[in-house]
Amino acid sequence: MILRFDDTNPSKEKEEFVDSIKYDLKCLGVNYERMTHTSDHFEYLLEMMIKMITEGKAYCDNTDVDTMRKNRGEGIPSP
């Protein structure tokens, strides 16, 4: 098992949560082979996102947050 922590904003992550999860897993007898963080793979993820956008398999929406929330609530598709 790979224990992966989603730390998409590493500066806001708290080590106490990581320690708590690791402790809980140990108490449950759950072992993991290695531990990773999403931030360990940012460069690769960026490369793949750019590739998918370039191939037309994904898109990036730069709509501001307020407009996006309003449109989502009203069922208006993203431009």
Please write down the HEC assignment for all residues of the chain: CEEEECCCCHHHCCHHHHHHHHHHHHHCCCCCCEEEEHHHHHHHHHHHHHHHHHCCCCCCCCCCHHHHHHHHHHCCCCC
CB 38 within 8 A of CB 6: yes
**Residue that has been written with the tokens 């994904």 in this structure:** 58
pTM of the predicted structure, to 2 decimals: 0.59
pLDDT value at residue 23: 96
pLDDT value at residue 7: 83
Indicate if the pLDDT at residue 49 is higher than 80.
Answer: yes
